[in-house]
Structure 1
């Protein structure tokens, strides 16, 4: 099956004229069509003009044609064991049938048109039409200027078919009657319910549809263009194999080179894909490591901040202690300097904001003066318990400040 962007030259010969169409197809869509016709000389050889036309495409075109040889017939592989050395056959279809024709006819065609790649039987054009809707109990006809092809399909395979050259005073009505007569001799239990005529003669035989009145069978009439059907066959993989010929060696070499190039490109792209995935995995690992390092660093920063906070707290506490100790030291020095000679301390406790003094005094007045003048200025809240024991006074004094 052709694919991508294809250039196809289709042609067939009718009488002394070669009809051709060049078709450029991309992804199943027709981009360009060019129709030409060329004269054939009395010897039946192709014209120099047609030779030059074919050569102008080089190796970049696929050439396909139609074999109008009256010796063609439909065969069943189960019934036909040997086709004979004088015949050649198409590839066997899916249900075990094929078309055979004289080998010399194909060889002469290839000698005459040596550039040919694919050569199809008219039976496969009708099979192409049948495969589009697979209508059974129908007589399928392909009408050309010089040939007529008729076939009946049953369950996806032909059961009776004829391909012959038109005689003088040809009547399509009489041909159909003869066909049906011969058909029912062999297939007495399978009935034709309608007729489909594909006319490739541009209406040469007039109003064909009117014969349904005498045949008493519905008739579907449709004009067809063989030059457009031939490229369509190459777009279907199952039809390409039915050709009597195969692409030339040059074409095969071109296909091999193209296939090799595609393979190299695929390998190259595959290598790039592997490299990108490797780099992605490597990058992912590096990102994971960096994230771990980042988390570790953040944790260390938090721990350092906590340590700094604790150090600041300790520093503040130490400063407070040093300040307090300095004040206490100064207070202690001042208090001891203020104690009169008549007062003896037996216990002294100094806090940051309080003081406890125990001792003895020989004079109540000197003790009270010491308390009132010296200590109450430093400790506004001051309580004293004073007891006389003989000639001395024992005291316990507690002072506080805010």
Structure 2
């Protein structure tokens, strides 16, 4: 049982290899360029020898044998058997367990299924006298549209039996069948010649494996160290950049501090002056607005008498603002004033 499981795994469908089917009743001269497999002493399947050198598995199964497998189940000698694949198509007719007509081709871009069947039937009738096909058995591993089958039926008026199949399952079924074993092309396995004793070969393989593992480990460690060094270098560069940024910011701060201190001193002086001015305002005068600028002072308010405001201006503001302009507006109990003072630069 294990032997047939191995065969099943080693089977390959011979689509790409040139092959022909030959009825044993026909006398032919065997071609030395072909390898022949005899099928039940009824017919032969021939492969081109140079094709057989390139296949990879150990058992080669012909598409003709696939159709013979289906024929043996019902032995319909009046049927046309067709094995349809995506890129290949196989066409056979059997009679009394022998394959009397067969074709295996690769489809081209102009391939039309219905026309291929019609042309193949015509070709068969040209070579066979008084033998008629009554129905068609199609084993479809690709997809044939029902409209094409209806069109084919209208042209040939033969019953069509269309069955979908899966190639992998079908190949498994055939390859594990003991009676088919002699019908496969078997590739010879080359025997391995050992120059050294087996134990020495095993020891060398073990040592070689250890050396490879050690090399892989050392390479891995080197890779890790290199990555760490790169990361440290990148961190060093980042630190240097940050140090430069801090130096630049420190330099800017050193340049700004004198200006800030000067501004702070000026602000302190201005606040002191403003406080002094407001402290000197007489009780009789009411300020409604005081607007300070760098070189001027605008005051608005009320005074019961002009002299109160004049005395205040002369006494309190004379030292700060040298130029002055005052406007008065008479109201019922005094004057509303607008005064603009400015410094002489």
TM-score by length of structure 2 reads 0.51
The residue that corresponds to 1:79 in the other structure is 26
Q: Where does structure 1 differ by over 6 angstroms across 4 or more consecutive aligned residues?
A: none
Q: In structure 1, what is the Cα distance between the partners aligned to 2:30 and 2:16?
A: 17
Q: For residues 186 and 204 of structure 1, do their structure 2 counterparts lie closer, same or farther at Cα, with a shift above 3 Å needed?
A: closer
Contact 2:24–2:41 (CA under 8 A) maintained in structure 1: no
Q: How many residues align?
A: 191
1:116-195 aligned within 5 A: 116-195=57-136
Question: How far did residue 93 of structure 1 move?
Answer: 1.6
Question: Alignment partner for residue 218 of structure 1, among 145, 152, 159?
Answer: 159
1:1-400 aligned within 5 A: 3=1, 7=5, 62-69=9-16, 71-90=18-37, 92-109=38-55, 113=56, 116-201=57-142, 203=143, 205=145, 207-210=147-150, 211-246=152-187, 248=189
5+ residue gaps in structure 1? 11-61, 251-402
Contact 2:39–2:45 (CA under 8 A) maintained in structure 1: no
Question: How far did residue 79 of structure 1 move?
Answer: 3.0
Question: How far did residue 128 of structure 1 move?
Answer: 0.3
5+ residue gaps in structure 2? 192-345
Q: In structure 1, what is the Cα distance between the partners aligned to 2:7 and 2:179?
A: 20
Q: In structure 2, what is the Cα distance between the partners aligned to 1:237 and 1:9?
A: 10
Question: Deviations 1:11-61 (Å, cap 9, x if unpaired)?
Answer: xxxxxxxxxxxxxxxxxxxxxxxxxxxxxxxxxxxxxxxxxxxxxxxxxxx
Q: For residues 167 and 196 of structure 1, do their structure 2 counterparts lie closer, same or farther at Cα, with a shift above 3 Å needed?
A: same
Specify the SS of the correspondent of 1:7.
helix
Which one has a bigger Cα radius of gyration? 1
Question: How far did residue 108 of structure 1 move?
Answer: 1.6
Question: How far did residue 235 of structure 1 move?
Answer: 3.1
Contact 2:5–2:176 (CA under 8 A) maintained in structure 1: no
Q: In structure 1, what is the Cα distance between the partners aligned to 2:147 and 2:41?
A: 36
Q: In structure 1, what is the Cα distance between the partners aligned to 2:72 and 2:190?
A: 31
Question: Deviations 1:274-306 (Å, cap 9, x if unpaired)?
Answer: xxxxxxxxxxxxxxxxxxxxxxxxxxxxxxxxx
RMSD: 2.4
Q: For residues 243 and 216 of structure 1, do their structure 2 counterparts lie closer, same or farther at Cα, with a shift above 3 Å needed?
A: same
TM-score by length of structure 1 reads 0.44
Q: In structure 2, what is the Cα distance between the partners aligned to 1:157 and 1:178?
A: 22
